[in-house]
Structure 1
Amino acid sequence: MGVFTQEEALRERALAFLSRATGRRSAHTEDLFARRLYLSPEAVRVVNYLRRRPLAVFNPGAVLRDGVVHLFPRLVFEYYSYASAIGHVALPVEDLLRGAIPDPLPVEIVLYPTEGWEASRGCEDARAHPWGEGFALFYTAVGKLGEAARTDHKDAFFPALALAELGPDLQVRRKGVVWLGAAEGAFLLPTKNATFLAGDAFLLRPSLSGVPDLCWRGRLDRQALRAYDLEPVLAPEAFEFKVGWSTNALPLGDGTYLVAYHGILRQDLSYRHGFARLSGEGRLLALSSYLLAPRGLQECYGDRPLTLYGNGLFLHGEELCFVGGVGDYALGVFTAPLEEVLRRLHPVEGG
C-alpha cells in the first residue's frame, strides 16, 4: 500500500467514524476544579541559558515520582519566531499544591532544537512519562519535514510527533520523529497529543486534510518509532471545531486509564476539557462533558485568549491534579476529587 493510499485509508476511516460517533456529548460545562497555582514567566529564572527570563512558561508535562512532581514546561523567549524549548523543574507535591514555591523558580532547559525537523519553531508541549529512572517525552517538533523540506521558504514548517528519552541526569539519550504506517512506505502527517497506554498501545492526534481533528489510538514500535493500527476514538461534536487528547493517560489500577481531552468551542473559541476512561488498548469506555474551562482574567486573557491547554495529569491521594498552560503564557495547577470526576463519566456503547 503506497503513501497516498495509506493516508486515504485513514481519511476514509475517520469519515466513517464521524458519521456514527457524534452525539455522545453536550456543550454543557460543569467546572469542578479548584485553582491551586498560577506560575507566571516573571516568576521563573532559567539557569542554563544566556536569557534568564522567558516571555512564556506554559503547557507543562508532569510526572509524580516519590512525592516529587517533575514539570516539563514549554518555554518561549521571543514572539518573532515563537521558537520553543522544554524545561524541567522538580518540586515536592505538597509545596506545589499549596503554592509554596521558590521565587524566582529555577528552571533548566532539557530539550531544545538541534535537528532540522525541529529547527523552525522548536520543541512544544511535552507529555511526560516515567522511563526507568529517567523520563520519556512525547512532544511536537516543528521544523523541516515532508513538503516543508522541499521549499526554500524559511517560514514553511511541519509539526511532527517526536519522542525524546531522558536519563536520570536529564540528558537526552535519544530523540526522533514518529512515522506512521509500516516501515515499508511509512509516511508523515502533522501529529500531536500523544501518550502511552498499556504495552505498545498509545494515543495520538494526527491531522488529515479535509477532516476535522479527532482523537485516535494506535500501536507504537518504540524502537523503530513507527505508529500503526490507527483507529479513531473520539469525534468533535457539532459545537466544536476539533478535539484532541489533553494529558498523559493516568492508570486507575484496574487496567483502565483516565485521560483528559480538549475541545475548541465554536461559540467562543475557548479550549475546554472533559475526561475519558479507556481500556489499556485505548478503547473508549466512558466519557464526560466539559469539567474544566477558562474563567477570570488570568485564564481568559493571554497570548491565546480563553485557552486552558492540558499536558499533565497525576493522582495525589484521592485528588486528581491537572497541570496545564494558561493563555499560552503561564502555567496553572488545578485539582478536583477523583471520585467526583469519575462520577461524571457515562458509559459509551461501541467505543
Structure 2
Amino acid sequence: MSQQRPQALLALADGTLFYGSSIGAAGHTVGEVVFNTALTGYQEILTDPSYCRQIVTLTYPHIGNVGVNREDAESNGVFAAGLIIRDLPLRASNFRMEETLDAYLERTGTVAIADIDTRKLTRILREKGAQPGCIMAGEIDPVKAVELARSFGSMAGQDLAKVVSCKQPFAWTMREWQLGMGHATQTDSRFHVVAYDFGVKHNILRMLAERGCKLTVVPAQTPAEEVLKLNPDGVFLSNGPGDPEPCDYAIAAIKVFLDKKLPVFGICLGHQLLALAAGGKTSKMKFGHHGANHPVQDLDDRRVLITSQNHGFQADETSLPANVRVTHRSLFDGTVQGIALTDRPAFSFQGHPEASPGPHDVAYLFDRFITAMEQHGR
C-alpha cells in the first residue's frame, strides 16, 4: 500500500510494538487481540457481535479487495473493537461493492492498522496466547498505548451477551441471499422458534427462516416464563461474545426449557450455555478458534467437516454429566465441538454452521433442529 496515510501503532500488553498505517478512524481502541485465518469475509467478521471488545488480526495478507456492501453485514454495525491487516489494496472491485473497506472503517468509527507484520503478530498470539492490545491512529504515544493495553484485563468474567443483545423483541422474516434476487422474505411458516439474541448473526436467522421457521428474537435476559407464553415449538440459543459463566440469567432460562423438554439448539455461546445448564463447566482457551477452515469430526458418522469457528471459551469435556454426549470434536486440538442430551431434544455446536464467512458443511444441524420440532409436535 503506497498511498500516504496517518501513522498508527499497535501495542500489546507484553510491551511489543508494531508501527504501521491508519486505515480507519483516528483515535485509539483497546481489546483482546485475536487472529482469524479466514481468507474472505472481512465484513462479516467485523459485524459479528461475537467480536465485541476484541481486536481482530486477519492473517490473509490482502484484505479489502472487494470492498463492502449492506447485504453482507451480519448485524446492524461493526462490533469488533479494531482491525489489524497486512495490506490494504489500492483498488477494490466487485459488482456488489458500495464503498471501500477504509471508507467503511472511517465512517463507522472503527480504528484499524495496516502495513504491519501480521505473521509475527500471529506467532506471538499463538505462542503466548491472546492478549490485550491497543491501536492508536493519528497521534501516537507508545508508553500510553502499552498502559491502555494493560488496563484492559481479561475476557474471562465479562458478561457481554447482555451488552450486544437487542433491547426489545422483534420478528425476523428475511431468508437466505440468492444471486440476482438478493434476500427473499418469508411468507409462510411451519414452526414458531424463539431465538435468544446473545449477539446473533443475521445469517443464522436467515437459515432458520429459509427452513420455514417463524422467528421471534428476544433479548438475552428474557425470562423463560415470558418465552413460554409465546408457545414456541423450539428455542434457539445464539452465538455471542464474552464469558458464558456470568450469564446466569440465560442458564436459568435454559434449565426451564430442558425441564419442559422443548427442542433446543445452540450455537457458539449458546453451545457453552447449554453445557452449563446441563451441569457442565466451561473454561477460557489459550488463543481460541477463529477461522473458516477448521476440521471437525462428526462422531456419529465419522465424517470430517470443514467449519467456521469463532470462540475463546470451551465446554470442558470431563465436567459433562452422564446424560450429555459429545457429538463433534475438533481435529486441531481435540476440544468439544458439539454436544447432545440423551434424555432431552437439545443439542448444540461450538462452531458456526451458518458460516458467513466459511463453508456450509455443518448446515445439516439446522435440519436436525427442524426434525426435533417435528418429532416433538407429534
Q: Given the two structures, how large is their TM-score scaled by the length of structure 2? A: 0.27
When you count strand as a share of all residues, which structure comes out higher?
1
When you count helix as a share of all residues, which structure comes out higher?
2
Which has the bigger relative contact order, CA under 8 A and spacing at least 6?
1
